[in-house]
Chains A and B, each alone.
Chain A
Amino acid sequence: MRREVPLVLTAVVGLTMIISHFIPPLNILKDLFEDWFFIIAAFAIYLGVLNLLRVNADKIYKKQADAPFGLVVIFGFLVITIPGLFFSGGRSFSDPGTPFYYLYIHVYYPLSATMFALLAFFVASASYRAFRARSVEATMLLVAAFILMLGRVPIGDWITAWLPQGYRLGEWADWIMDFPQTAGQKAIMIGIALGVVSSALRVILGLERAYMGGE
């Protein structure tokens, strides 16, 4: 039961999704399975949220070293959840003017955007410390990166303004993106497609069971 039912479920659902392309009447079942997918995905989100709250509540209960920050996590959760559920006008909870919208713009957005902006500093530091032209391949990577970084901003054309039209850095960047880069991306894309198709088949046929975890 523990392993057999999930395997059968995966096979039935997966095959239904594939076969419905060839047998249109099966689309009714496909649509139903897709709806259930929405619902289960929602519960999966709640699982993550509940687990997060449980872990942090545990930290506070056990008076661990970072318990105060566990309190901050739960505080942050409540600060947005309570207004969002009860004081933001129901289904129009995300309209401009609601408390939820205010918190989204002035708390969630600055935090989220700044977390990502930190990456700019680390990319600069990593470029300085680790980006080395140690081999022919690394040098090709470096040269391509240089051409793209300078060619994609106006400074590239400014530096190479003395060259004739069609040979400036911006145009080199365009050519690299349109041709060799596209070729490399196509190779990666086709390779991934073959990998996804074989993995999907393995999962549907029950040959791949890692998603079920141990036991």
Chain B
Amino acid sequence: MSGEVVGVWIGAILTLGIFSFLYKDNPFYKFSEALFVGVSAGYWFVVTFWQYFLPKLIDNLVLAYTLLTVEGKIDYHWVYVLGGGLGVLMLLRLLPSVGWLSRWSLAFIVGTTAGLQFTRYLESNGIIQVKGTILPLIVGGNLNTTIGNIVIVVGTFCGLIYFFFSKEHKGAFGGAARVGVWFLMITFGALFGYTVMSRMSLLIGRMDFLFSNWLGLIG
């Protein structure tokens, strides 16, 4: 029996193990679930080692060490010791007595993310989107574009009004907020439809695997 055939059988058994949950919770499902957790953790462990540690930390420190021992130069790559140190502090979270030190690493991560996202969300999702909403409401000779532009401007404006909770939604403001809710409901309906499409696609993939790759019933 070739490795590929054994592999397909392993895949099929594990697939059926997960699907068995649909009947009811059972040890077969629990085994598959636990195996998934362990294998996922192992997968990330291996990938992180070869893709993070070696190129980002070890290679840089080895370079700095080599330059020091061979050429006697103190290279700027030694600064990666600090980065490695911050990383080790993160691991200290496992020890309750010194776990508070991991806050330094967390603070670094949070600060970097906040700083990066500040400008990017402001520009890409804020300013450019607002600019894209400034559209002519009457496009001469093109009814479709006129209607489309009106829908986009009114929908975006009213949707934003709905999200403004500092003012009570009554009167004209409340009316606009209600229109905003309608647009949001259409958006969520579309999202639901696409979510169904996405989930069904995943199921189709597994069914195809079981009936085609495993059982060979589909050509």
**A residues near B, CB below 8 A?**
2-3, 5-7, 9-18, 21, 32-54, 66, 69-70, 72-81, 84-85, 90-91, 93-94, 100, 102-121, 123, 127, 137-138, 140-149, 152-153, 176-194, 196-197, 199-201, 203-204, 211-213, 215
Instruction: Indicate if the CB atoms of B46 and A81 lie closer than 8 Å.
Output: yes
A200-B117 contact in complex given A144-B189, A145-B193, A148-B194, C-beta closer than 8 Å? yes
Number of interface residues of B (CB under 8 A): 115
Closest chain B CB from A111 CB (angstroms)? 4
A-B contact pairs, 13 of them (CB 8 A): A17-B114, A21-B119, A39-B80, A41-B109, A66-B30, A80-B39, A93-B46, A102-B3, A120-B203, A142-B189, A184-B188, A186-B129, A193-B126
State the majority secondary structure of interface residues on A: helix
Judge whether B79 is part of the interface by a CB distance below 8 angstroms. Answer: yes
A-B pairs, 10 with minimum CB distance: A76-B38, A17-B115, A183-B155, A187-B159, A144-B189, A184-B187, A148-B193, A84-B46, A13-B111, A106-B7
Closest to B115 in A: A17
Which residues between 91 and 135 of chain B lie within 8 Å of chain A, taking CB atoms? Answer: 91, 93-94, 100, 103-112, 114-119, 121-122, 124-126, 129-130, 132-133
State the majority secondary structure of interface residues on B: helix
Contacts of B196 in A (CB 8 A): 123, 127, 145, 149
Cross-interface CB contact of A183 among B21, B147, B152, cutoff 8 Å: B152
> Which of A40, A90, A137, A201: most chain B Cβ within 10 A?
A40
Question: In whole angstroms, how far apart are the Cα atoms of A78 and B43 in the complex?
Answer: 10
Instruction: Indicate if the CB atoms of A184 and B80 lie closer than 8 Å.
Output: no
Judge whether B63 is part of the interface by a CB distance below 8 angstroms. Answer: no
Contacts of A100 in B (CB 8 A): 46
Cross-interface CB contact of B37 among A76, A107, A110, A191, cutoff 8 Å: A76
Closest to B188 in A: A141
Instruction: Indicate if the CB atoms of A69 and B30 lie closer than 8 Å.
Output: yes
Contacts of A10 in B (CB 8 A): 107-108, 110-111, 114
Judge whether B169 is part of the interface by a CB distance below 8 angstroms. Answer: no
Judge whether B8 is part of the interface by a CB distance below 8 angstroms. Answer: yes
